[in-house]
Amino acid sequence: MKELEPFNYPENATCIAGVDEVGRGPLVGAVVTAAVILDPNNPIEGLTDSKKLTDKKREKLFVEIQEKALAWSLGRCEADEIDQLNILQATMVAMQRAVAGLPVTPDYVLVDGNRTPDFGIAAHAVVKGDLRVAEISAASIIAKVTRDREMDELDKAFPQYGFAKHKGYPTKVHMEALEAHGAIDEHRRSFKPVKRALGLE
């Protein structure tokens, strides 16, 4: 596999926030975003794309990021907002909320992916940013651990769906549960598999 190009940070930026999202693909729950400003004097070892880490390592880094970062914040859009806006727009709104919630105002925002919403601050989208930019890696970990915990809680309330295992993604188990039990309030009704299960197509 070829090495990813190292990311060249913008020269005049002194306070950079990394932003990432988790939960665009699932059929249930919120899309969760995080914004993180790291402290250059308090480095964190082992930051990378949250999907490449074990649960245990993610949980450990989650605590370490919260302790060592200069600032961090969560943003979200719930299922009903996703249904109103569409998932792409909802993700952009959730990212704006995460940055707006930071207790420290960054002078530059780096977003994982290929597009960025308007933050009212200089921003740049970085493809594979969760592997190339420490701030985005940190944001991906905060967002993923937060959303995974929410799915574990939802699983306790609705064990028949298996949310703790598939985290709301459209797996075979999830699809079978949707057909057998119908949707819960947290399901995204604008998503095709949910529409189909509810006979709305």
Residue 33 near residue 19 (C-beta atoms within 8 A)? yes
160 has pLDDT over 80: yes
Q: What is the CATH number of the domain that holds 48?
A: 3.30.420.10
Q: Which residues contact 96 (CB under 8 A, 6 or more apart)?
A: 75, 117, 118, 119
Q: How sure is the predictor about 109, in pLDDT bands with cuts at 50, 70 and 90? A: very high
Q: What is the mean pLDDT of residues 152-157?
A: 97
5 located within any domain: no
User: What is the residue type of 163?
Assistant: F
Domain count, the chain: 1
Examine residue 128 and state whether it is found in any structural domain, yes or no: yes
Average pLDDT, the chain: 94
Q: Is residue 132 part of a domain?
A: yes
pLDDT value at position 3?
55
- For residue 127, is it within any domain? yes
| Residue 190, burial from CB neighbour count under 10 angstroms (0-12, 13-18, 19+) | middle
- Indicate the range of 5-9, 78-82, 102-106 predicted with least confidence: 5-9
**Per-residue pLDDT at 2:** 46
Q: How far is the C-alpha of 162 from the C-alpha of 148, rounded, in Å?
A: 13
The per-residue pLDDT for 24 is 96
Of 178, 152, 146, the closest CA to residue 166 belongs to 152
pTM (2 d.p.): 0.94
| Residue 88 CB contacts under 8 Å (≥ 6 apart), including other chains | none
Range of the domain at 77: 16-156
Instruction: Read off the pLDDT of residues 23-70 as tens digits, 9 standing for 90 and up.
Output: 999 999 999 999 999 999 999 999 998 989 999 999 999 999 999 999
Q: Give the residue-averaged pLDDT of 134-150.
A: 97
Are the CB atoms for 34 and 71 separated by under 8 Å? no
pLDDT band at 4 (very low <50, low <70, confident <90, very high): low
- The confidence score (pLDDT) of residue 10 equals 83
Q: pLDDT tens digits for 166-194? A: 999 999 999 999 999 999 999 999 999 99
Q: Which of 164, 177, 135 shows the shortest CA–CA distance to 29?
A: 164
> What pLDDT score was predicted for residue 197?
83
Q: Is 113 a member of any domain? A: yes
Asked whether residue 198 is domain-assigned, the answer is no
Q: Give the model's pLDDT for residue 151.
A: 97
